[in-house]
Structure 1
Amino acid sequence: MKALLLICHGSRTKAGTEKAREFAEQCMRHIDYPIKEVCFLELSKPDIAKGVESCVRQGATSICAIPILLLTAVHAKEDIPGELQIQQERFPHIEFSYGKPFGVHESISSLLWERITESTDAFKEKSLILLVGRGSSDPDVKRDLKAIAAHLEENYKIPPIETCFLTAAQPSFEEMLRLAGWGYEQVIIVPYLLFPGILLGGMKKAIAEQARETGQELILCEALGYHPVLQEVLLSRIDEAQRQRTVV
């Protein structure tokens, strides 16, 4: 019997955990697997081991594990595969396959455009868009966020886009926000985050301080959240994992 295991990152807050679980459960409603479970890499429960155990207890003979992560970094490349390898050794009779994070996908540009146009109905002559990722020491994160920004620029007539990061990568959000204070009337800030949370709170504080100092129009868009586009991307990642049989 086939099982689908969606692996979320986890959150230090109860609200963050619940938002992630709700996102995964909304997606799973449209996925035809007899067994479907949600688990977390860290900080929240159940962990991956408990998620696998639940699938096995329900009669799974194969488990397709998909990371609910926006970009490919150490969690997707090492941490989750390492834990799944441990579970493979615990349950050698189970066939495991492992999918990709959302990553770079053409469809995501339409979701970003929607978030931008929800927040403003007119660009000014001197406008800038900041696409803000969480950040990682993995260079693939910088490459992929730039590729996502490039898709957005190609598909829509918009102001120039710069990418930046909240943690562990350069340029930082604070640095790019300060630089944008020179010469731009309007700065549209697009958080490349699945859910609002502690990081978004820090962004709001920095934006409010700069708005007071410069008088610029600083517009903060909503986080991505659950959206049919991300559901579509998730379905494609599940299909890829099943077809390619990428084992742990």
Structure 2
Amino acid sequence: MRAVLFVGHGSRSKRSNEQFIQFANAVGASCKAPLFRYAFLELADPSILDEIKVCVEKGATEIIVFPLLLFTAGHAKVDIPNEIDKGKVLFPDVTFTMEKPLGIQEVLISILEKRLSEKNYINQQNSLVILVGRGSNDESAINDFEKVGELLRERLHTSHVRTSYLVGGHTSFEDSIRQAHESSYENIYVLPYLLFKGVLLTQMEVFVRKLNDERFSMCQSIGADETVVNLVSTIINHEI
């Protein structure tokens, strides 16, 4: 029997974990696999290995692991495969397959546009968008995020989109916000390229709020948007 194991990063934020579970349940409702389970890589339960055990107990002979990650970096290249390897040791007769993270998707660019429109974004010379990624030490993930920035500039028909990073990367989130605060832009939109509202997004909101600058608008994260649910469901069902 084939099973799909849907893996989220996990967060210290209960709300973020609940959003992932809501997302997972929505994807699972349309999944064609006989068995659909979800797990967290870290910071929350159930763990990947625990859910591998559950899948096998329920009769799975093949487990497809789908990581709900935006880019292919350390978690997708090392951490999740390490957990899968533990499962292979315990269950040598079970076949394991790991799918790729979401990567660059036009649907995700459309959601970024949607999040801006929710804050009444208007494309003007005096408007600035600060696109914020989590950041990584993996250069390929950084390059992919910069590509997202390029695609967003093309969609918005503006050069006034800056990329910044919460950790790692080239330009820190704090530096980008300070530079914008000192600039002459009349409208500044902080646009997080994050799946769910976790601790990092809360810290971003606090940092911006402390500036007491009315020009700043804080956009929502990507979230459990229906179009993303449909995208993930389509990818999974294509593989099973």
**TM exceeding 0.5:** yes
Cross-structure match for 2:5: 5
Secondary structure class of the residue paired with 2:204: helix
Paired AA for residue 229 in structure 1: T
What RMSD over aligned residues (CA atoms) do the two structures have, in Å?
1.8
CA drift of 1:123 comes to 3.7
Map of 1:192 onto structure 2: 193
TM-score, normalising length: structure 2? 0.92
Q: In 1, distance between residues paired with 2:179 and 2:36?
A: 46
Helix, strand or coil: the match of 1:131?
strand
Mapped contact 1:127–1:159 kept (Cα < 8 A): no
Unmatched tracts of structure 1, length 5 or more:
243-248
Preserved CA contact (<8 Å) 1:128 1:161: yes
Q: Describe the shift of the 1:147–1:232 C-alpha distance in structure 2 as closer, same or farther (beyond 3 A).
A: farther
State the shift of 1:15 in Å: 2.6
Aligned to 2:219: 221
Contact 2:32 2:237 in 1 (8 A): no
Hey, which bits of structure 1, 4+ residues long, moved more than 6 A? none
- Give runs of aligned pairs for residues 42-61 of structure 1, distance below 5 A: 42-61=42-61
Structure 2: segments with no counterpart, 5+ residues: none
What corresponds to 1:102 in structure 2?
A: 102
Q: Which residue of 1 aligns with 2:232?
A: 234
Q: Which amino acid aligns with 1:163?
A: T
Relative to structure 1, the CA distance from residue 20 to residue 90 in structure 2 (aligned partners, 3 Å threshold; closer, same or farther) is: same
| 1:148 alignment partner in structure 2 | 148
Q: Which residue of 2 aligns with 1:136?
A: 136
Q: What is the Cα deviation at residue 121 of structure 1?
A: 4.5
SS at match of 2:163: strand
Seq. identity, %: 33
Query: What TM-score does the superposition give when structure 1 sets the normalisation length?
Result: 0.89
Supply the distance in 2 between the matched residues of 1:60 and 1:140 (Cα, whole angstroms).
34
Quick one: distance in 1 between partners of 2:130 and 2:238? 31
Deviation at 1:159, TM superposition (A): 5.3
